[in-house]
Structure 1
């Protein structure tokens, strides 16, 4: 084989190798899309049925197996994420952007990357299990929510187990949760009939 043909063949092989590697890197770099919440889905932490409860929900898609773990609240999602066996893993995490979604029935088209979100801890708005962390795509939306409902704005990396164990704010928020649950039960009863 002539030297010019050999170098042409080597250039072609190098280009094919780079193209093959580039495709692999793209596949690895892309993250899984969020999975909609379905009627009957149960919380991975507490086992409660997720639908019918107010406030933002969360989900984790495991990095290796791509298993989807759904959570009835952002609080339960963080309780799972902050466990020693999960804290350093790069799971794909999603939460509802509550600036775009109704508090009583979050819309799955409003799921955002949980690591990029801002959270309000300590507000008087209740989620599925009582106090929860309200999630937002922008700091401005989180601050507006905190001005109206109380609480502190945090980035994902600032949320600790202490924020999850904080006591219920002093207000009639327990009544708000019960009222929201009653409306959800009434809606489901009408649907079943």
Structure 2
């Protein structure tokens, strides 16, 4: 009596069930991490920028956070220019689950807290006289009407996320182009 074929069939069946179970389990995990289910994390006195280590609560202007697929906690940014540059950079290869910025129609510009909105559905004001942690920054708003109102008071141009181009948020230059240094 030859038991090898039956054993091979049983092993293949077991492996097939295991692969199917793992696939279904991962599909369930994917739904659990859907961007709609991700909740923004509030900043506190110790929250620092992932790019430069600056403490977010020490500076004015809108902040941001990205939830990457390979990280449980968000990467924080002390400025919307930084997060937009990161998202639009050609070398950005990390999968992004969710991105949040603050609605500056509701948050206090000088001490922004809370009022997180989806960055990809926000409206942005470029070129206003208001500054953030790194100097000139981009105001972020949930509603286009609020962005237009801000631009009327502070200058600037309103753009939807889809209209922002990488060269508009280029962070190169920095100190070497600052004539005040």
- TM-score > 0.5, shorter chain as reference: yes
Deviates more, 1:44-53 or 1:147-156: 44-53
**Which secondary structure state, in structure 1, belongs to the residue aligned with residue 76 of structure 2?**
strand
Q: Specify the alignment match of 1:172 in structure 2.
A: none
Corresponding residue for 2:7?
none
Q: Distance in 2 between matches of 1:157 and 1:67?
A: 26
Q: Is the 8 A contact 1:118 1:155 kept in 2?
A: yes
* Partners of 1:55 and 1:105 within 8 A in 2: yes
Structural mapping, 1:1-193, within 5 Å: 24=28, 26-29=31-34, 30-86=36-92, 89-108=95-114, 110-165=115-170
Q: How many residues align?
A: 146
Please give the alpha-carbon distance, in whole angstroms, between the structure 2 residues aligned to 1:50 and 1:159.
24
Offset at residue 38 of structure 1 (A) = 1.7
| CA displacement, residues 26-79 of structure 1 (integer Å, 9 cap, x when unaligned) | 424343110111212221122222112111000001023334100001111112
Aligned counterparts of 2:159 and 2:122: Cα–Cα separation in 1: 9
Contact 1:45–1:80 (8 Å) recurs in 2: no
| Root mean square deviation of aligned Cα | 2.4
Residues 97 and 136 in structure 1, CA contact (< 8 A), matched pair in contact too: yes
* CA displacement at 1:160 relative to structure 2: 2.3
> Tell me, what secondary structure is at the counterpart of 2:37?
coil
* CA distance in 2: counterparts of 1:151 and 1:161, whole angstroms: 18
Contact in 1 for aligned 2:66/2:96 (Cα 8 Å)? no
Q: State the TM-score, normalizing by the size of structure 2.
A: 0.72
* TM-score normalised according to structure 1 size: 0.68
Q: 4+ residue runs of structure 1 moved beyond 4 angstroms?
A: none
